[in-house]
Chains A and B, each alone.
Chain A
Amino acid sequence: MSMSTILQHCLTGISLGGAYALIAIGYTLVYGILRLINFAHGEIFMMAGYFMIFSLASFPWPIAIVITVVVTTLMGVIIERVAYKPLREAPRMSIMISAIGVSFLLQNLSTYLFTAIPRGYPEIPFLKRIFRVGDVSASFVTILTPVLTIVLVMVLMGLINRTKTGMAMRAVSKDFETAKLMGININRIISVTFAIGSFLAAVGSILYFTDRMSVTPFSGTLPGLKCFVAAVFGGIGNIPGAVVGGFFIGIVETLLVALGYSTFSDAFTFLLLIVMLLVRPTGLFGEKTVEKV
Chain B
Amino acid sequence: MNIKKRNTIYSLVAIALFLAFLYWLDANRLKQGMMISVLQKGAILALVAVAMNLLNGFTGLFSLGQAGFMSIGAYTTAILIIPVKSLDGVYYMNGVHPAIMSLRVMMAESPPFLQSLYPFIALLLGGIIAAVAALLVGLAVLRLKSDYLAIATLGLSEIVRAIFSSPQFDQITNGSYGLNKIPNFPSMLWGLIPSLVTPFIITGVCVAFIVLLINSSYGRAFKAIREDEIAAEAMGISLYKHKEMSFVISSFFSAIAGGMLAMYMRSIEAKTFSIMLTYDILLIVVIGGIGSITGSVVSAFLVTAAKEWWLRFFDRPLTLFGMEVPLFRTGFRMVIFSILLMIVVLIYRRGLFGTNEFSWDAVRRRLGRRGKEARS
Residues of A within 8 A of B (CB): 35-37, 83, 86-87, 90, 92-94, 96-98, 100-105, 108-109, 111-112, 115-116, 221, 225, 228-229, 232, 261, 263-264, 266-267, 269-271, 273-274, 277-278, 281, 292-293
Contacts and interface: CB of A to CB of B under 8 A. Distances in A.
A260 to B, nearest CB: 9
A271 B154 CA distance: 11
Interface string B137-180: 00011011111101110111011001101110000000010000
Nearest to A87: B346
30 contacts: A83-B342, A86-B346, A90-B349, A92-B146, A93-B60, A94-B345, A96-B62, A96-B147, A101-B342, A104-B279, A104-B283, A104-B338, A105-B342, A108-B331, A108-B337, A111-B331, A225-B154, A225-B158, A266-B162, A267-B166, A269-B155, A270-B154, A270-B155, A271-B155, A273-B151, A278-B143, A281-B144, A281-B148, A293-B143, A293-B145
A112 B330 contact: yes
A105 B290 CA distance: 20
B282 interface: yes
B155 A274 contact: yes
A273 B146 contact: no
B346 A270 contact: no
Contacts of A277: 141, 144, 148, 152
A104 B341 contact: yes
Interface string B326-348: 00011110110111011001100
Contact of B167 (A83, A96, A263, A273): A263
A93 B152 contact: no
Contacts of B148: 277, 281, 292
Contacts of B62: 92-93, 96
Contacts of B60: 93
B56 interface: yes
Which 5 residue pairs across A and B have the least CB separation, nearest first?
A: A270-B155, A112-B331, A267-B162, A105-B338, A108-B334
B275 interface: yes
B334 A112 contact: yes
A37 B147 contact: yes
Summarize B's interface: helix, strand, loop or mixed. helix
A221 B282 contact: no
Interface string B352-375: 000000000000000000000000
Given A97-B286, A104-B338, A105-B339, A292 B145 contact: yes
A222 to B, nearest CB: 8
Nearest to B342: A101
Interface string B278-299: 0100110010001000000000
A86 to B, nearest CB: 6
A266 to B, nearest CB: 6
A115 B335 contact: no
B243 to A, nearest CB: 12
A115 B332 CA distance: 11
Contacts of B332: 112
Given A115-B330, A270-B156, A271-B159, A101 B345 contact: yes
Contacts of A35: 147
A151 B279 CA distance: 37
B313 to A, nearest CB: 15
A37 B144 CA distance: 15
B346 A100 contact: no
Given A112-B329, A112-B335, A293-B143, A37 B151 contact: yes
Given A104-B283, A228-B151, A278-B140, A267 B342 contact: no
A281 B151 CA distance: 13
Contacts of B282: 97, 100
B341 A105 contact: yes
A218 B156 CA distance: 20
Nearest to B341: A101
Contacts of B159: 267, 270-271
A228 B150 CA distance: 12
Contacts of B339: 105
Given A37-B147, A108-B331, A270-B155, A93 B56 contact: yes
Contacts of A271: 155, 159
Contacts of B329: 112
Nearest to B283: A104
A216 B366 CA distance: 49
Contact of A111 (B143, B147, B283, B334): B334
A229 B158 CA distance: 13
B122 to A, nearest CB: 26
B285 to A, nearest CB: 9
Contact of B335 (A37, A108, A270, A274): A108
Nearest to A228: B151
Interface in B99-158: 140-141, 143-148, 150-152, 154-156, 158
B298 to A, nearest CB: 19
Contacts of A273: 151-152, 155
Contacts of A264: 162, 166
Nearest to B336: A108
A267 B349 contact: no
